[in-house]
Amino acid sequence: MLSSTTASSPDVQELDVRGMRKPDKHPMIFTTYAALPVGASFVLVNDHDPQHLHEEFEADHAGSYCWEYLNREMRDWRIKITKLASTPLPRVLVDTATITADTIAADVTGAVWKLQGRERDLDANVIALPPGQTIDAHAGPDLDVLIHVLAGSGHLETELGTVDLTPGVLLWMPRRSRRRFTAGVEGLRYLTVHQRRQALLIDAGRAAGPR
């Protein structure tokens, strides 16, 4: 529940989640944060150091909030959370050069990077296929997918032909279109971007691509 506190200033509110059900805590905390005007704060009161919550703030709001410990006593952890910007900030998520340097690694298959933010409209993954490996022929999902080839080589078999995949190729796969991916002798890594949906499943022996 919210109440007034004098932890740092009279107008800063406390959000004490110690008596709440665990599934309700993080949604309440993020709802409270979202309602803050820029420059305002609240003090979170918890019974332990909320490290996982901090990781979620970093994933969603890196650089646009302040996290300040006020108290670290057992069952009385107090963290002042301040909103520094009206929305999450544009930021660099990953240097793709660092995840595409070794495309021939035989033991690296599937998603080697994915977009993590909770509040997002897109899903994005970097998919790795070792040399010669395939994603079996299948019909795509009921959404469009963009693919940007980052490293290696391969080809895409469509319903009527084959598309060569080389670094720099930007590929559009219309919804429900048939596709089959095969990596070349150098392996293949590509970025996929599409409307957010449920997480993809990685099948043993096959890489999980956009389905």
What average pLDDT does the structure give for the chain? Answer: 88
> Is pLDDT above 50 for 21?
yes
Domains of the chain: 2-83 (3.30.110.40), 96-195 (2.60.120.10)
Q: What angle do CA 18, 85, 10 make, to 5 degrees?
A: 50
Give the residue among 193, 200, 207, 198 at the shortest CA–CA distance from 96.
193
Q: What is the pLDDT of residues 182-203, one digit of tens each?
A: 999 999 999 999 998 755 444 4
Q: What is the pTM of this model?
A: 0.72
Q: How confident is the model at residue 204 (pLDDT cuts 50, 70, 90)?
A: very low
C-alpha distances in angstroms, 101 versus 96, 98, 120, 189, 191? 9, 6, 28, 10, 14
Written as six digits, the tokens of 126 are: 């970097």
Q: pLDDT per residue over 102-133, tens digit each?
A: 776 656 778 889 988 888 899 999 999 999 99
